[in-house]
Structure 1
């Protein structure tokens, strides 16, 4: 631990520490004692996105870690090529240095996909996984989009990566009113879209290097699809899904539903009237589902 910092965006302060990884500064927090859990945020997220989960899970008898992935939150934002393998390596090294006990990996969106990757590639460090609206990839694969949208997204990513237009486009995307409007599209419970949440997402976008991180991620490879990873996983899984998620619709959860219906080590828990970030939108429900499932393991 290289120091404790306060995050001014959080009303309920979490002690945050800085860890040096490959000469980059990684922000993380830890609370509680017991079986370790690692919480992994999604695109645009950070430690603060778990502010309504960490204290409850820690009080339930678990040692809860959460970190800002490289390029996000208060972690460094170097001008490098970002991809899922980079973050997977970061998470493995974090576990090796700070935990060193079999761990439950909990992820939302791309954090869920990273959790699956760790369970497949590093089963020796994993006791299980909890996926919350798991992403199908870091980006949409071209074949997953219809031709008009494929053209639009292709043009947009070229413009975002352009030295001439990229900074201007990013500055428009990161405006607080646009962040608020985006959140209201993916949160069905509009009361959860607070000014605190908007600030949690907006603040890191003001850091030097944030625009290049954004451009790099939008042009990065999609990575493995969950359907490639699931057959290789032996550890137990809890899959939580906000049924009204416009980004990863409930139809995308069919592979998990089918496996759960067959029995075995996977449980599937849909949450009605909930969007992409169920842990933040319905924290009381999600915390209860997680604690109940953990008690069974």
Structure 2
């Protein structure tokens, strides 16, 4: 009976209106005191944490997962509705989710666990909400890392304005609608999942559906266009090198990287590079696992994450 209840809680969808947009989220163990927010990767959704929320709820954590704006069942605004979609916008979404949904129930610091793009969003939140974040677990962390730890922000407004306008014009005319149509018809999604997952048996119908259904919505192309423009033209201050540098100054937020040694999307050498440049960042390598360890090897991922959180002294 208890397991059935847990499953129902994971599948029950909550709705939250954020800046006029509908946001979908799930929670298990909301009555527990210490909150965890799980942030999905590009093309995924809150449902990608299907094998993680229940585990942490049983460990007495309030486990939340939400669809970032433009993904899953959340609204998919285009450039006319939102302008650009990037990790700053998603960070603001998480900030307000904490303030409006979590804070009425708990005043404890929040744990952020991210996969890929979700890891970048978690890192962005750790910098802007430093005093509210207990730790970040990133599995893995995308973005190029500059070899110089002290990333300099070079002020070239004319060049940046030109680049931004070029990027905007390019993606306005780029036929994303046709591309997405072909992706769904030519089974490209299954090919992508085969590249992301080292263990192919984990690619089940539920996983394929949770990735495919958002793409089939009529607003998906316009939202993808806003993401392409937003992520391609974002400031240096929104990139991982700068954000890690900012976080290094205080080291208030413990940072764990969990990386699969068979990750084809973001190779392990990048994780080692981050851990080498930023010695306060801890790296845990998972053998024979790919880009989505939390879903491919959930028992391993949950154990590593729980033990890291359990030993924290930041609450």
Report TM bin, short chain. Answer: 0.7 to 0.9
Structure 2 segments unaligned to the other structure (5+ residues): 1-6, 145-166
- Structure 1, gaps ≥5 residues long: 1-9, 138-155
Aligned residue for 2:297? 282
Counterparts of 1:186-225 in structure 2, within 5 Å, are: 186-222=196-232, 223=234, 224-225=238-239
How far apart are the structure 1 equivalents of 2:276 and 2:294? 23
Equivalent residues of 1:175, 1:202 under 8 A apart: no
The equivalent of 2:40 in structure 1 is 41
CA separation of 1:38/1:12 partners in 2, compared to 1, >3 Å: closer, same or farther?
A: closer
| Offset of residue 11 of structure 1 | 9.2
Q: Displacement of 1:31 after TM fit?
A: 1.0
**Rounded Cα–Cα distance in structure 2 between residues aligned with 1:241 and 1:136:** 14
Q: Which has the higher helix share?
A: 2
2:240 counterpart of 1:226:
yes
Q: Distance in 2 between matches of 1:157 and 1:171?
A: 22
- Please state how far the C-alpha of 1:159 moved relative to its aligned partner: 7.5
Instruction: After superposition, give the CA deviation of every residue in 1:186-240 in whole Å (9 maximum; x if it has no partner).
Output: 1111111111100111111122210111222223334433222223322111110
TM-score using structure 2 length: 0.79
1:1-297 map, 5 Å = 13-32=10-29, 33-80=32-79, 81-100=84-103, 101=107, 102-136=109-143, 161-162=172-173, 165-175=175-185, 177-222=187-232, 223=234, 224-233=238-247, 234=251, 235-258=253-276, 262=279, 264=280, 266-297=281-312
- Partner Cα separation in structure 2 for residue 104 and residue 183 of structure 1: 27
**Partner-residue secondary structure (3-state), 1:104:** strand
Counterpart contact for 1:77–1:208, Cα < 8 Å: no
Q: Measure the CA separation in 2 of the matches of 1:11 and 1:256.
A: 39
Cα distance 1:157–1:280, how it changes in 2: closer, same or farther (>3 A)?
farther
Q: Deviations over 1:159-187 (max 9, x none)?
A: 86437x33111101234721111100111
- In the aligned structure 1, how far is the partner of 2:9 from the partner of 2:64? 16
The number of aligned residues is 267
Change (3 A) 1:44 1:157: farther
Corresponding residue number in structure 1 for 2:149? none
Structure 1 pair 187/12, CA: closer, same or farther in 2 (3 Å)?
farther
Distance 1:275 1:211, change over 3 A: same
Instruction: Look up the match of 2:152.
Output: none
Give the distance between the partners of 1:179 and 1:11, measured in 2 at CA.
Answer: 27
The alpha-carbon distance between structure 1 residues 108 and 209, as it changes in their structure 2 partners (threshold 3 A), is: same
Aligned alpha-carbon RMSD (Å): 2.4
Is this contact kept in 2: 1:103–1:126, CA < 8 A? yes
Mapped to 1, the partners of 2:289 and 2:99 lie a distance apart of 35
What residue is the counterpart of 1:141 in the other structure?
none
- C-alpha deviation, 1:157, in angstroms: 9.9
Cα 1:219/1:31, change in 2 over 3 Å: same
Aligned position for 2:156: none
Q: For 1:121-142, what per-residue CA distance to the aligned partner results, in whole angstroms no more than 9, with x for missing partners?
A: 11121111110111117xxxxx
CA contact (8 A) 1:159 1:166 kept: no
